Every structure is written in C-alpha cells, then in structure tokens.
Amino acid sequence: MYALTDQVRRSSRAAGPNLAEARAKRRYPAHFLSKLTDADSRLQQKIHWLASAQACGYIDEDESLQLHAQAAAAARKLGPMINQYESLCF
C-alpha cells in the first residue's frame, strides 16, 4: 500500500514540473514536445496507479471516479497542446 501511494504521489507531482520545463523550452520545438509528452506519460502513470489502487481496494469507486475525472480534465488540456505544439513555440 505504501509503495502504491508513493507511485501515485510521484506521478502526480511530476506532470507539473514537466509542463513548467516545457514552457521554458518553447524556443526549441523538439524539446518542447519532449517535455509535453513526458507530462502526458506521468498523467497516464497516475491513471494506471489509481486503477491499481481501486483494484486493491485502497480507494472506493466514487473516489476513483473523482480522481479519474480530474486526470481526464488535465488530459483534455494537454492533448491539444501536444497535437499543436508547433503553434505554441516561438
């Protein structure tokens, strides 16, 4: 349980710094896209670990649905940034 909690915590914390670093790399399109995809990877990890936590009975279905909804909201913002990353570069 503690290892799973740590995985959720680390994957949740990693997306933000990757986005901040992506913003700083906007002059370099390949680096910018790399950091955006890193953030997306962390988001997908978080979704995986949340599903694992529910499967193990550590969180109930309502809590899982709420946390998945938050992750989906972030993905809806991140996806278009990845798809149109060149227009965000300068």
**Domains of the chain and any CATH numbers:** 2-88 (1.20.1440)
User: For the chain, which residues score pLDDT lower than 50?
Assistant: none
- 74 is written with which tokens? 């972030």
Average pLDDT of the residues of the chain: 90
Q: Which amino acid is at 35?
A: K
SS3 string of 8-43? HHHHHHHHHHHHHHHHHCCCCHHHHHHHHHHHHHHH
| pTM summary value | 0.82
CA 65 to chain centre: 16
CB 32 within 8 A of CB 39: no
Residue 4 has what pLDDT? 81
CB 32 within 8 A of CB 26: yes
